């Protein structure tokens, strides 16, 4: 087993290597690189286009589960900014000295919904009386991995709040990020799924059949920060641009809650 001291040394070494790698990449014209939670895809693609139009560098956008991205950054992946779907994975990097001091801010909020295939007539009220296990009719509930992916952790907390998780534990189709869970429902591989409301809005092959009350799970917060080894000169500008009127307009159009 790796000791806490050894883990700390490995993290420090990874950060140092990432810093050296980033400096070399900048000299070779490495692009502005953004690591972002999968649920941000459409909004960030739009915002990146606006940033370029405003005179900024065209960013390279990499999407995955926040847990996967944080681990990649820990291992030295040359990301300039990190947009997480929860505070825990941002805290993970802060503890390892991989986030630039003073750059972190809570950017967005979201909500959690139950989705089914488009055209479904069924609507449900999510409370303690909902027999979601029976509703699956032998199928599985698609949701991100509740052990590591932010949307999955929010979903598990909401199901536990209503006493539903125990009966669903063996009926879950866990995925590596929220967009994969969404795809399971869109392709008909799962009858229902739990995703963010913004994901449901981005996929025409699904529809919302129920909404989880906000008090049923921890507040959904997307923090953003510059990494401690970021080398691209436009990293601070892109961070600032995320709070600009054009970017806020995009986020809100896509269904996110901008945290002013």
Q: How far is CA 187 from CA 192, 193, 195, in A?
A: 11, 12, 15
pLDDT per residue of the chain (260 residues) written in tens, 0 to 9: 333 333 333 344 333 333 333 343 443 478 999 999 999 999 999 999 999 999 999 999 999 999 999 999 999 999 999 999 999 999 999 999 999 999 999 999 999 999 999 987 789 999 999 999 999 999 999 999 999 999 999 999 999 999 999 999 999 999 999 999 999 999 999 999 999 999 999 999 999 999 999 999 999 999 999 999 999 999 999 999 999 999 999 999 999 999 98
CATH code of the region 4-109+221-258: 3.40.190.10
Return the CATH superfamily for domain 112-216: Periplasmic binding protein-like II (3.40.190.10)
Spatial distance between the Cα atoms of 68 and 253, rounded to a whole number of angstroms: 27
What ranges do the domains of the chain cover?
Answer: 4-109+221-258, 112-216
Sequence-ordered list of residues with C-beta below 8 angstroms from that of 21, at least 6 positions apart, any chain: 76, 78, 229
Rounded Cα distance between 5 and 163, Å, is: 40
Q: pTM score, two decimals?
A: 0.86
Express the helix, strand and coil content of the chain in percent, nearest 5 each.
45, 20, 35
């Amino acid at each position: 087993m790796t000791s806490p001291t050894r883990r700390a040394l490995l993290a420090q070494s990874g950060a140092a290597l990432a810093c050296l790698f980033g400096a070399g990449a900048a000299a070779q014209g490495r692009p502005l690189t953004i690591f972002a939670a999968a649920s941000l895809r459409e909004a960030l693609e739009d915002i990146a286009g606006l940033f370029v139009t405003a005179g900024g560098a065209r960013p390279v956008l990499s999407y995955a589960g926040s847990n996967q991205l944080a681990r990649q950054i820990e291992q030295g992946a040359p990301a300039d900014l990190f947009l997480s779907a929860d505070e825990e994975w941002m805290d993970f990097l802060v503890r390892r000295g991989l986030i630039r001091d003073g750059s972190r801010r809570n950017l967005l909020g979201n909500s959690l919904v139950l989705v089914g295939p488009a055209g479904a007539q069924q609507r449900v009220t999510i409370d303690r009386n909902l027999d979601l296990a029976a509703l699956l009719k032998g199928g599985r509930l698609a949701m991100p991995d509740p052990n590591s992916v932010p949307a999955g952790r929010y979903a598990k907390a909401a199901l536990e709040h209503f006493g539903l998780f125990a009966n669903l534990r063996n009926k879950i189709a866990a995925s590596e990020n929220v967009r994969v869970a969404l795809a399971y429902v869109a392709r008909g591989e799962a009858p229902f799924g739990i995703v963010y409301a913004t994901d449901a809005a981005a996929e025409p092959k699904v529809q919302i059949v129920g909404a989880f009350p906000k008090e049923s799970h921890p507040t959904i917060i997307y923090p953003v920060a510059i990494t401690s080894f970021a080398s691209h000169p436009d990293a601070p500008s892109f961070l600032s641009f995320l709070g600009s009127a054009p970017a806020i307009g995009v986020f809100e159009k896509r269904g996110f809650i901008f945290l002013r």
